[in-house]
């Protein structure tokens, strides 16, 4: 991301995402604003993964808007372009499906996503695993936290090869999580 136009479009995506997520909080015990997560995913991509390709960074900031807000794919395409809409669609779960099915499909679809979508997915899982360690939902038992870690590892395994820096960092975060939580279920 280099030009003023690119920076302006990135800021527009942050504003769009912040507006769409304005009433939402993360599940963590301290319930941080949801937008923090979207920004963190883009930050991980840019600063840990070395990603500087604008559509990927835009899609990172927007990755949960269609899944978790009233945003539409049409709005995303009109405002940010077809490429961004397609990337967001690749990483979006179908909320009409039961949660267990959505989780199963993430594991199944991960190896078949584009390299850019895989990078977004790894960055998203890095954020989520860090939250499971440091700020888990208050109602999540140790067993549920461990189950999340095991599932996230399966999703990321399907994304390996897309970005070695992100994969390596995910492994470090996951190792720390297992060290803190223990592997026994």
What are the structural domain ranges in the chain?
4-181
pLDDT at 107 (0 to 100): 97
- In order along its 185 residues, the chain shows pLDDT tens digits of 567 698 999 999 999 999 999 997 788 778 878 899 999 999 999 999 999 999 999 999 999 999 999 999 999 999 999 999 999 999 999 989 999 999 999 999 999 999 999 999 999 999 999 999 998 988 999 999 999 999 999 999 999 999 999 999 999 999 999 999 987 65
Instruction: For residue 77, indicate whether it is catalytic.
Output: no
User: Superfamily assignment of 4-181 in CATH?
Assistant: Hypothetical protein af1432 (1.10.3210.10)
What CA–CA distance (Å, rounded) separates 90 from 128?
A: 18
For this structure, is 176 an active site residue? no
The catalytically annotated residue of 6, 53, 67, 171 is 67
Q: Which of 43, 68, 147, 176 is catalytic?
A: 68
Query: Global pTM?
Result: 0.94
Question: How many C-beta atoms surround the C-beta of residue 141 within 10 A?
Answer: 10
Identify the CA nearest to 90 among candidates 73, 69, 68.
73
């Amino acid at each position: 991301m280099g030009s003023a136009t690119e920076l302006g479009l990135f800021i527009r995506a942050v504003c769009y995402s912040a507006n769409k997520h304005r009433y939402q909080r993360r599940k963590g015990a301290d319930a941080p604003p949801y937008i923090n997560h979207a920004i963190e995913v883009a930050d991980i991509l840019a600063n840990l993964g070395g990603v500087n390709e604008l559509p990927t960074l835009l899609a990172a900031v927007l990755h949960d808007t269609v899944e978790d807000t009233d945003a539409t794919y049409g709005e995303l395409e009109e405002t940010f372009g077809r490429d961004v809409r397609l990337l967001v669609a690749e990483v979006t779960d179908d909320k009409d499906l039961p949660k267990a099915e959505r989780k199963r499909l993430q594991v199944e679809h991960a190896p078949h996503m584009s390299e850019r979508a895989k990078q977004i997915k790894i960055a998203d899982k890095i954020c989520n695993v860090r939250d499971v360690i440091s700020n888990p939902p208050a109602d999540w038992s140790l067993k549920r936290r461990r189950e999340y870690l095991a599932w996230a590892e399966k999703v990321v395994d399907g994304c390996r090869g897309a970005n070695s820096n992100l994969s390596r960092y995910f492994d470090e975060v996951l190792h720390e999580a297992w060290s803190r939580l223990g592997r026994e279920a």
